[in-house]
Chains A and B, each alone.
Chain A
Amino acid sequence: MRRLLLAAAAAVSFTAPAFAQDAPTQTLRIALRQDPDLLDPTLARTYVGRIVFMGLCDKLFDINEKLEILPQLAAGYEWTDSKTLVLKLRPNVQFQDGAPMDAAAVKYSLERHLTMQGSSRRGEISAIEHVDVVDPTTVRVALKTPYSPLLAALTDRAGMIVSPKAAEAAGKDFALHPVCAGPFKFTERVAQDRIVLDRFPGYWNAGAIHFARVIYQPIVDSSVRLANLEAGSVDMVEYILPTDANAVKSNPKLRLVLSNNLGYDSININVGHGARATMPFGRDARVRKAFELSIDRTALIQVLYNGLYEPTAQAVSQDSPFYAENVQPPARDVAKAKALLAEAGVKTPLAVTLIVENSPIAKQLGEVLQSMSAEAGFDTKIQQMEFASSLDVAERGDFEAYNVGWSGRPDPDGNLWNFLHTGAPLNYPGYSNPDVDKWLDEARQVTDIGQRRDLYAKVAAQTETDLPIMYLDVPKNIVGMSAKVSGFVPVPDGMIRLTGLTMAP
C-alpha cells in the first residue's frame, strides 16, 4: 500500500506541473458559412463538415500547401506492387475514448467506409478489395485494380479512422457523439447554433495544440459573418466574400489569408443527356465555342469577385503538378464567335437557357454572361433555381446550360473522372468520349507523375474542344481572422488546420 501511494505521489508530482504549464485555456471560435451535416466521417457530405473534422478526426494522410501527401496517423507507406499498399501506423496513438488506434481500427474504419449503408466514402475507395492486419502497426491494403488516387482519397474523410468500440456501440447514431483520434473531442452540438469540441489531452501531437476549446458556429449570412469577425465575436471566418475582402484587409485588427482553391466554377452544358441535348447548343461544339469566345473571364471576375479569382479553362488547380499548361482560357473574340455561329448555320439570336442558383452572386454571374454573349448573337435566358431543385433538374437532364461549382479534390481524378467519364454520377452533361474515358481510366492506373500529367493534359485539351463543361474560374479560399491569430497555414483544400494555431491573449 505504502509503495503504491509513493508511486501515485511520484506520478502526480511528475505529471502535474507539466500539465499545469502546458494546458491551454483559450477558446477558438470559427464561423462557418453553413451548418454541417452528419458528424460521421463515413456518412458526412458537406464541405463545412470537413472543416469540423479537422479538429475531431485525424486522417491516415494529410496534404500540405504544396499539395504534397504527408503522413498523419500513418507513419509511412509503401506500394509493394501496383495493387498492394502497406501502411505503417504511428505507434501509441489513442482514440478520444482511450482505445488504441491500431491496425485493427484502421481495418475496421476502411471496411466501415466500404460497407456501411449510405456510406458516402464507398465511391472514393471502392478500388479496395480487402484490408489485412499484418501486425498492430501494419496494415496491408489490397486493391482490385491499380488505383493511384487512393492516397489522396485517404487525405480526406475516407482516411479518417474512428474508434471501433464507439462506432459499434452507437451504430447509426455515431454522428451524434463521434469518437476519433483528432486533437479535439466532441462535447456538444446545438443544431444550427454551435459545435463544441474540447482539447483531447491524449492526442498524439498534443504539444502542437494551443486551445482548450474550439467552437464552430454556422452563420449563414455573409455580412453577419463579417460583422461577427469585426466585433470580435468570432476569431476566424472560414470564408469571406470576395467583395468583403477589402473591409477585412483595411481593418488593422483583422487579417486576410488567401489561397487558391482546388475547385472551379463552371457551366455544364447538356451535350448528351436526354431530349434537351438536341438543341444547337448541345449538338454543336462550334456553338459552345462561340459562347466561350464571347466571355471575358477577367472582366467577369473583376465584376463579380473583386478580381480575386483566377480565370481557367480546366478542372485541375494551377497549384497541382497535373495542371495542363497547354490549355489556357481563350481571350474574348466576338468576331470569331460570330463567325463560328455562322459556320454552324444557326439563326441568331440563338436562345440559350442558363440555370443559376437563386443567390445574388449567381444571378449576377448570369447577367454578366447574358450581356457578354448577347454581343456574339446569343439570347441567354436566366432561370434562377433553388439548389435542391437545380440538382434534380441536372440529374434528369432537364437543362440546356447549368452553372455549378465544385469544391475540388487534391488528386485531379477527383475533379475529372466523376464529371467526364461516360455514365459517371456527376456527369450531368451526358458527355461520352471513348478517348477521354480511356485516358481517365489509364491515369487511375499509372503511378508515374509524368505519365499521369500527359494523360490529364490530353483530357484537358479534348474537353476544351468538346466543351461539355465550360470552366470559368478558380475561386480563392478567403479566410478572415483576428490579427491575434497566428500560425495559420493556408492549404488549397480551404480547411482550417488547428495544429500550430495560436492566439495572442
Chain B
Amino acid sequence: MGSHFNRRLAQVVPTILLVSILVFGLQQLMPGDPALVLAGETPDPQVIAQIRTELWLDRPLPIQYLHWIGNVLQGNLGFSWRIREPVAQLILTKLPVTAQLAVMAFVIAVMIGVPAGVLSAVKRNTVFDYAASAIGLAGLSTPNFWLGIMLILLVSVQLGWLPPSGYVPLTEDWRQSLATTIMPAFVLGNAIAAVLMRHTRSAMLTAMGQDYVRTARAKGLRERIVVIHHALRNALVPVVTLGALELGTLLSGAVLTEQVFSIPGFGKMIVDAVFNRDYPVVQGVVLVTATVYILLNLLADALYVLINPRMRAT
C-alpha cells in the first residue's frame, strides 16, 4: 500500500482520541446535573453526594476523562447510569435494530425513487412527470413524525393491518419483524426516495441527451433497452454516490422515527440518554458511531488506492 494510505492509517488513532475528548467535553457543556437527574423525585443531599462519589462526578474533569478513556481502552465502555446495563451490551442489542431499519428504508427508497426518476425523465413534461415531482416534493417536505402518526392511525387503527409500534427481532420471527418495521422504514425511506427521484431524473435527462444514446437508438434498439441498458447504467453512477451519502441521513432520521414507532434502536437510545444525562451511554454511542465512520472512510481510502494507481506512488 502507498504512503497516502499509511498516512491516513496513522491518523486514525489520534482522530478517535480527539473525538473522545470532544464528546466528553461537549457533554459537560450541557446544562443539568446528572446526579440531580439520577436522584429523581427524592433528591436527598446525602444521596446526591453518594451518587457523585460513585460515578466519579466529584473529581476534576481531566481525571474523569482519563478514568473513562482508560476503561474504554481496556474494552470497557462502562454501564448505563440509569438502568445499570453495560453500554457495550446496549449498543450490541440496539445497533442491529437500527441497521435493519436503515437497510429496509434504503431498499424502499431505491425501489420508489429510481423507477420514478427514470419514468419522469423518459416521460418528461407529461402529467406523469409533474405528478411525480409533486409527490416527490410532498415526500421531502412531510415531517417524519407527522407521516408516522398518520400512517399508524390509518394502517393500524383504522385498517388493523400492521402493529402500530414496537419491534420484534428478525431472528425471533421474521414475519412479525417485517410487520413491525415496514411502516417506520417507509416513513424513513420516503424522504430519501424523493431525493433519489430528483437526482435520477436529472441524471437520466443528461444521459438521454448523450451521443451514445443517440447511437443506440440509431442502431434500432428498442426504447426500453436504450433507457435501461444504456442511459440508466450511466446515470446511476452519481445516484449511487448520493445514495451512500444519504445513509447518514438515514441514521439521523432514525432518531425521530424510532421515537414515534417506539422502536428500541440506536436513535431512541441516544435521545433518551441525552435527556436523562446518562453520560456513559451518550459517550459510548458517539464514540462507536465515530469509530465506525472513521473506519468506513479508511476503507474508502483503501479502495481509492486500489482503483487509482496514481495514488500509490506519492
Contacts and interface: CB of A to CB of B under 8 A. Distances in A.
Contacts of B43: 395, 425-426
A190 B264 contact: yes
A35 B263 CA distance: 12
B52 to A, nearest CB: 10
Interface in A404-433: 406-407, 418, 425-426
Contacts of A176: 84-85
A7 interface: no
Contact of B84 (A175, A192, A219, A388): A175
B33 interface: yes
Interface in B262-277: 262, 264, 268-269, 272, 275-277
A273 to B, nearest CB: 14
B83 A120 contact: no
A321 B292 CA distance: 60
A445 interface: no
Given A192-B264, A221-B262, A391-B32, A425 B45 contact: yes
A173 B264 CA distance: 22
Interface string B14-42: 00000000000000001111001111111
A97 interface: no
Given A120-B44, A191-B90, A192-B269, A231 B160 contact: yes
Interface in B137-156: 149, 152-153, 156
B82 A233 contact: no
Contact of A219 (B36, B38, B165): B165
B47 interface: yes
Contacts of B32: 386, 388-389, 391-392
B44 A388 contact: no
Contacts of A47: 41
Contacts of A194: 166
Contacts of B167: 193
B196 interface: no
Interface in B54-92: 54, 80, 82-85, 90
B93 interface: yes
B41 A389 contact: no
Contacts of A45: 38-42
A124 B39 CA distance: 13
Interface stretch (A222-230, A342-350, A375-383): A222-230
B311 interface: no
Given A218-B262, A219-B262, A46 B166 contact: no
A391 B33 CA distance: 8
A191 to B, nearest CB: 6
A117 B261 CA distance: 37
Given A117-B50, A217-B166, A38 B264 contact: no
A172 interface: yes
Contacts of A39: 83
Nearest to B155: A231
Contacts of A191: 80, 83, 85, 90, 93, 264, 269
Contact of A190 (B93, B260, B261): B93
Contacts of A426: 43
Contacts of A124: 42
Contacts of B277: 388
B163 interface: yes
A218 to B, nearest CB: 7
Contact of B39 (A120, A219, A386): A120
B268 to A, nearest CB: 5
Contacts of A418: 42
Contacts of A230: 157
Contacts of B164: 224, 227-228, 231, 233
Interface string B264-295: 10001100100111000000000000000000
A224 B41 contact: no
Interface in A211-265: 217-221, 223-224, 227-228, 230-233
Contact of B261 (A173, A224, A391): A224
Nearest to A43: B84
Contacts of A387: 275
B46 interface: yes
- The CB with the most chain B CB atoms within 10 A, among A37, A176, A426, is that of A37
Given A191-B269, A221-B260, A425-B43, A37 B82 contact: yes
Interface string A391-404: 11101000000000
Interface in B205-263: 259-262
Chain A to chain B: the 4 pairs with minimum beta-carbon distance, closest first: A45-B40, A388-B32, A193-B264, A123-B44
Interface of B: 30-33, 36-47, 50-51, 54, 80, 82-85, 90, 93, 149, 152-153, 156-157, 160, 163-167, 259-262, 264, 268-269, 272, 275-277
Given A123-B44, A191-B83, 18 more contacts: A35-B272, A37-B82, A45-B38, A45-B40, A120-B40, A122-B46, A176-B85, A191-B264, A192-B264, A224-B164, A224-B262, A227-B157, A227-B165, A228-B165, A392-B36, A395-B43, A407-B41, A426-B43
25 contacts: A45-B39, A45-B40, A117-B54, A118-B47, A118-B50, A120-B41, A122-B44, A175-B84, A176-B85, A217-B166, A217-B262, A219-B165, A223-B149, A224-B164, A224-B165, A227-B164, A231-B157, A231-B164, A233-B156, A388-B36, A388-B37, A388-B277, A389-B30, A389-B31, A391-B36
